[in-house]
Structures are given as C-alpha cells and as structure tokens.
Amino acid sequence: MRRRDFIRLLGATAIWPIAARAQTTDRVRAIGVLATFAETDPNLVAFKDRLHELGWTEARLRIAIRVVEDGQLVRASAAELVELAPDAILSTTSTTARALLDATSTIPIISAVLGDPIGLGFTRSMSRPTGNITGFTTFNDTVASKRLEMLREMLGSMNKAALLWVPINPQQVLLAQQTQEAARRLGIELLSLPLNTADDIAPALDKAGGAQIKAIVVAADPLTVANARAIIDGCTVRGLPSMHTFVFETRSGALMSYGADLLENYRGAAGYIDQILRGTKVADLPFQEPTRLTLSINLGTARSLRIAVPNSLLTRADEVIE
C-alpha cells in the first residue's frame, strides 16, 4: 500500500524552535502522534478536542503527526518522531507501540489502543508501569471467549468458526492464542486465516467458505480496519456471519461487533498526555482496561443471512441497527 507520511504542526513549522524547547515555564510544549489512519479520523479529532478542553490550545501545544498506511514502514516513522524529541508521543496500536518502544526508552508513550501490555512485554505491572509506556487497552481476558459465545448464541449452534487475523501485529498473536483456547473450551473447531496484505483477504474468505465454517471472527488490526469494506462485503457475498470489534463496522454491514469504545480511549489518552505535560511520571499512570465493551447488531444483515436474532442478544445490545 502507498504510504502517506507527513508532519503537521498546529500553528508552527516542522522544527520546534530551540528557544521554545529550552524554556522551563510556560513554554510551548510538543507531542507526537504515530497513527495508522487519517488525521481526520473521529478518534484523533476527539483526542485533539479533549486536549483543547484541558487548556492545550494551539498557542501552547504543537502536535507532530506521522500517518503510516504501510505497516512495514512504521519503524522508520517511529524513529523520525523520536528524533523530534517531543515531550510525549501518542501510540494508536500495539504495532506502533512496539516500534516506539524500540526507538526510545525515555520519551513517555501514551497508548490509546493497546493489547495486553504484560503479555506483550511492555510492562511488569498494570497498576504501576515499569517502562516508558502506559495508556488504555482494548484488552480483556474474556473478549475472545465472549465473541465466540455470542456468535454461537446468534446462530443457535456453531461447531466450526474461523479467525481472520494479522500475524505482524504482536497483539494479534496473543489474541489468536486466546481465541484458539476459547474455541477448544467451547468445543468449536477454529480455522486460522492469517493476513499479511489486503490481497490475502479474498483467498482467506474463499478458504473459509470452502471449509464450511459457520461464522468468522475478524480481529481488529490496521489492515482489517482499513479494509473493513472489502471484508464485510466478502463475508456477505459468501453468506458468512461475521463478528468484528468496532461499532462502525456493524454500521457498515457486519453482522455483529463487540469491543471497546475507542472515543473513550482517545479522550482518556488525552487526559494522560495532559498529566505528563504537567509533570506526572509514567509510573504514576496505571494502564486502564476498557470500562465498557459495546455490543452492536445489524438486523438488516441478519435478515440477509436469514438469521433470526434471539431476544437474549437484542436485550443486551448497546446498539441495534435496522
């Protein structure tokens, strides 16, 4: 994929003035953002809005953004951000977090979206981070099992399922293990469908259809999110009920989604950035697990798949799309 790699500094040039960096009081502060989505993404807009609410106007804060659409180039972009020596950096995925940690052990990193930080080796403690990273996770020990359980509840029975995932993402490796373990406990045969590029999507879905699986779990990764339309349409054409992570995917036609509220995560990350800029240490900002996981169901998709959605799921759903 093409890489869009740029810096945009709010009200400033790309090089932060030495004099501004040298001031110790009331100086203009600087943060970096390493993202895998467009600057106009609602989550990043919410992040900036929350910073503004906390008093970080354009006159007080400069933001350098790297947008990387190609996961293979994330390490180079992380290194470039670190070279700017910002006061803190926002990470947006487990992959960007890994790249930033490889590039710096001193600049505070606040993650808005992260998997299991202990399982990923980022810290030894959730309550008191032991490295230079903290933030907000989308991780929960029960997520993998609940997604399979809800799919089986939706379908009435399910003995075969598939997982669409991205091995280059370290969190996806953990999620794949957790999903496999959950499938074993539930007596479900799980087909692994790894993706390396967008070109792998159609063959993977063809494989799922040929294996006569009953439903597919689509793991959240920049690759699957960027290609959500192709995955959702591909599942619909093949008659595959799909479970995704984010509400926007259900609104786009996926059967179901179950996952963290990302807007809440990004606003929380802005709050952590605010505290870092005011002198709080990373060790004093505990990792936060999602406080609420959102279930959404698309009734139109259910009808097209000839699925009668059980009332037990409808009453638990946070959003039902007609």
Same domain, 157 and 134: no
Structural domain total, the chain: 2
Report pLDDT digits (tens) over 138-170.
Answer: 877 788 999 999 999 999 999 999 999 999 888
**Residue 236, Cα to own-chain centre: how many angstroms?**
24
pLDDT at 119: 87
pLDDT at 131: 96
Q: What is the pLDDT along the chain (322 residues), one digit of tens a residue?
A: 333 333 333 333 333 443 344 444 478 999 999 998 888 889 999 999 999 999 999 999 999 999 987 667 899 999 999 999 999 999 999 889 999 999 999 999 999 999 889 988 999 999 999 999 999 998 777 889 999 999 999 999 999 999 999 998 888 888 999 999 999 999 999 999 999 999 999 999 999 999 999 999 999 888 898 899 999 999 999 999 999 999 999 999 999 999 988 899 999 999 999 999 999 999 999 999 987 899 999 999 999 999 999 999 999 999 999 8
Q: Distances from the Cα of 284 to the Cαs of 86, 104, 126, 211, in angstroms?
A: 20, 19, 11, 49
pLDDT at 70: 67
pLDDT at 112: 97
Whole-structure pTM value: 0.80
What is the C-alpha to C-alpha distance for residues 86 and 214, in angstroms, rounded to an integer? Answer: 48
Same domain, 127 and 164: no
What is the C-alpha to C-alpha distance for residues 37 and 231, in angstroms, rounded to an integer? Answer: 18
Same domain, 127 and 276: yes
Cα four-point dihedral sign 289, 290, 292, 295: negative
Domain annotation covers residue 1: no
- At residue 246, the 3 state secondary structure works out as coil
Same domain, 314 and 184: yes
Same domain, 205 and 313: yes
- Residues 68 and 5: beta-carbon distance below 8 Å: yes
Same domain, 61 and 171: no
Who contacts 45 (Cβ-Cβ below 8 Å, separation ≥6)? none
Domain annotation covers residue 234: yes
Same domain, 312 and 182: yes
End-to-end CA distance of the chain, in Å? 34
Domain annotation covers residue 268: yes
